[in-house]
Amino acid sequence: MSSAAGRAVRHLFLRRLPGQCMTVFLSIPPRIEASRWLPWTDSGANESGMNGRPRLFCLPHAGGSAALFRPWMRAAQARGIVLCPVELPGRGTWRDAAPRRDMRALVTAMADDLAPTLASGRCALFGHSLGGLVCAFLADELKHRGIAVDRLYLSAIALDRGWRDRGWSALDDAALCGLLALSDATPPEILANAEFMSRAMPTIRADLALAEQSSFGGTLDMSVTVMSGTHDDVAPFARVAEWQRVCSGPFRHIEYPEGHHFLRQRLGDILSRVAADFAAAPPAAPESSTTPSPAMSPGVDGLPTS
């Protein structure tokens, strides 16, 4: 992308980001010192977890980047939550990598790199559309590794793969741009920028293919909240409600009177609900322990038996 085009796109996104969702190749220089997955909260996520502050890890929709959630960070902080936007390969600060097309490979890589951070304290996962599907797979992968996620928030995503597989990833560029225009996910100025869209298309297609090809077959045993929009034809209420079939813990379904991108209007309400959920289930008090003397019954290598 030319420097002039890059500046124009960056200016547009910075001006319209709170009300727009298409944030694939936002021209923000990558931060070398930060984690690939957590470009703005790498060290803070660990420290906050160890200090007992609840953390909300947020994953974007198809074609979106972690920049979508940057405007949420201050609002979350005001509610006592550390919000951690998660970057996926092939966009934003990680745009030099190829986007992933295999869900199992994606969540395995995420779990490999993020497990220590996620295990360091209380945390919840929030994902919108494709991001919600990734969250479900990630939570299931973490469960098999013995890492518990406190809560899961799945926004605007249907459980049934057959419903999600509409062949959108196979559309030609013109048809796919038309679909994006109808969904109101992308500013017209961006859709009209041929250079920008030509670079964004591989990531958009890969993400759509990821949603179309991934069938969730696990069980979610944490508290799960699903969200849907009354006027959402992509993930209607009944299809989102089907997540209850794979949940063994508390389940809640919230419906907002908007379409697929209700995040724009419901930021405050969503964060307030997350804060209330964490407050309703405070962290367990640490167990008291006493260092045994040599005369006490020792366990393996001198450690007390439990």
Output the tens digit of pLDDT for each of the chain's 306 residues: 444 444 444 434 333 333 344 444 443 443 333 389 999 886 667 666 667 789 999 999 999 999 999 999 999 999 999 999 999 999 999 999 999 999 999 999 999 999 989 998 999 999 999 999 999 999 999 999 999 999 999 999 999 988 888 899 999 998 998 888 877 667 788 888 888 888 899 999 999 999 999 999 999 999 999 999 999 999 999 999 999 999 999 999 999 999 998 998 999 999 999 999 999 987 654 444 333 333 332 333 222 333
The pTM (predicted TM-score) of the whole model is 0.81
How many domains in the chain?
1
**Cβ neighbours of residue 18 closer than 8 Å, sequence gap 6 or more:** 71, 264
**Mind listing the pLDDT tens digit for each residue in 129-147?**
999 999 999 999 999 999 9
pLDDT value at residue 242: 98
Q: What is the residue range of 75's domain?
A: 3-281
Is residue 287 in some structural domain?
no
pLDDT value at residue 42: 64
Q: How far, in Å, are 112, 138, 253, 255 from residue 108 at the CA level?
A: 6, 8, 28, 31
Is residue 296 in some structural domain?
no
The residues that bridge with 82 in the sheet, in sequence order, are 55
pLDDT value at residue 166: 87
Is residue 101 in some structural domain?
yes
Distance CA 146, CA 149 (A): 10
Is residue 189 in some structural domain?
yes
**Mind listing the pLDDT tens digit for each residue in 281-296?**
876 544 443 333 333 3
Is residue 113 in some structural domain?
yes
pLDDT value at residue 48: 67
pLDDT value at residue 44: 66
Is residue 58 in some structural domain?
yes
Which CATH number fits the domain that encloses residue 38? 3.40.50.1820
Cα atoms found within 13 Å of the Cα of residue 96, Cβ hemisphere only: 7
Helix axes 130-144, 103-118, angle to 10 degrees: 60
DSSP label at residue 304: B
Token representation of residue 85: 């936007």
Is residue 231 in some structural domain?
yes
Cα atoms found within 13 Å of the Cα of residue 103, Cβ hemisphere only: 24
> How would you classify residue 205: left for phi > 0, otherwise alpha for psi between -120 and 50, otherwise beta?
alpha
